[in-house]
Amino acid sequence: MSKPLTIRGYAHDSFIAYKIKKNLMKKYYLIILLALVSGSSFAQMKLIRKMLSNEKDTTRKASFLPLPAFGYSQETGFEFGVGAIYSFYVDRKDTLNRSSNFALNTTYSTKKTANFMLKGDMWTKGNKYHFIGDIRFKNQPFNFYGIGNEAKKIDEDKLDQRVFKTLFDAEMNTLPKAYTGVSLGFENYHFIDKQAGGIYTTNPQILDKDGGSVAWIGASQSYDTRNSNNYPTKGFFGRATYQYAPDFFGGESFNGSQIKVDLRGFFSLAPKVVLGVQGIYYTVQSKSTPFYLLQQLGNDQMMRGYYSGRYRDENLMAAQAEIRYRFMNRFGIVAFAGTGKVFANGQFNGDGLKPNFGVGGRYFFDPAKGLSVRLDYGIGEKLPNEKRQAGFYISLAEAF
């Protein structure tokens, strides 16, 4: 009789020990979980405090910001991807050395469209040399409205496009604040008309409808007195480029030249308020220019609010002004307004200038370098029987 009692007693004691051990283990797990949550919360709070801190980083260290990219349109479906910007100084000890910036944006959609962009802007020690690189690939539909400054919504024609573009500029400091350089570029286009019988098919002004290739070689000259290449508060910037495209590819491929002039001025109106003004003039010169090389009005930098390519022609002229109020190192707001038009060679006049205006917000993820995430809402003209043209933009760095 005693043996079973002993066994039962031993089993009962083991069960009590097991319960105690189990409770202790639960407490340990709970302590570990609380520690992990606390550590994660602490890390998150530390990151949030860092991202909202009003202090500038004076160490001139490199910065990196990844951002999710997403959107939706009827043409592309749901679009998702990633954007990022990496910024650094080649010479951290030289306080006059300008920051070098590399920006990436790549997206893919549920309708198998793709978009890739990689831009680089690099300054060497002493700002002796300046290198600019740009690689873009796009495989997605877009809306074509014809050629000229009076294109109508009713003429909208849907096209599929596949575009590859690359550009490389190298500039050298030749005179104080002045840079002289050379430029090389290559572009390839392919188009498919999704709605046969529209303006794209029937308009005889539209040349090289299937697409083609063009190679550029050119020169540039710039003059730059800005106190920052990211967020200037004073100074002047002017740049002119000339590019020539030899007849490398034959057929309907482009043979001609283009000139681009970009002028900017910045004025400090108050300790936290800056006025920026910009004017551009782009022209393409050729006996026969394919529609895809015509200058286009509207993007996230100039004439915000207009669909890029809604108006296109051989010449583009536009100007804008922007008031920037940076009320904290991390945050700012802007108001902008501008005007512009496209026109054929030899047909310039002051009629038909299109207005744009809007507001935006800025978050400076690197206050010391003046690098920001930009949100802008731009509004354009209201044509009869059309909705007012407008656009919302999320971009990295200032518009100009």
* pLDDT value of residue 197: 86
Provide the 3-class DSSP secondary structure of residue 128. Answer: coil
pLDDT digits 0-9 by tens, 338-384: 999 999 999 989 899 999 999 999 999 999 999 999 999 999 999 99
Helix, strand, or coil (residue 69): strand
Closest CA to 115 of 145, 146, 101, 136: 136
- Quote the Cα angle for 308-311-312, to 5°: 95
Distances (CA, A) of 264 to 235, 237, 304, 321: 8, 5, 17, 10
CA 314 to each of CA 68, 202, 257: distance values in angstroms, whole numbers, following the listed order: 36, 20, 11
The tens digit of pLDDT for each residue in 73-102 reads 777 888 899 999 999 999 999 999 999 999
Q: Which residue has 């920052």 as its token pair? A: 228
pLDDT(16) > 60: no
pLDDT per position as a tens digit, 246-273: 988 877 779 999 999 999 999 999 999 9
Closest of 398, 395, 397, 400 to residue 105, by C-alpha: 395
The residue that leads in pLDDT, 294 or 51, is: 294
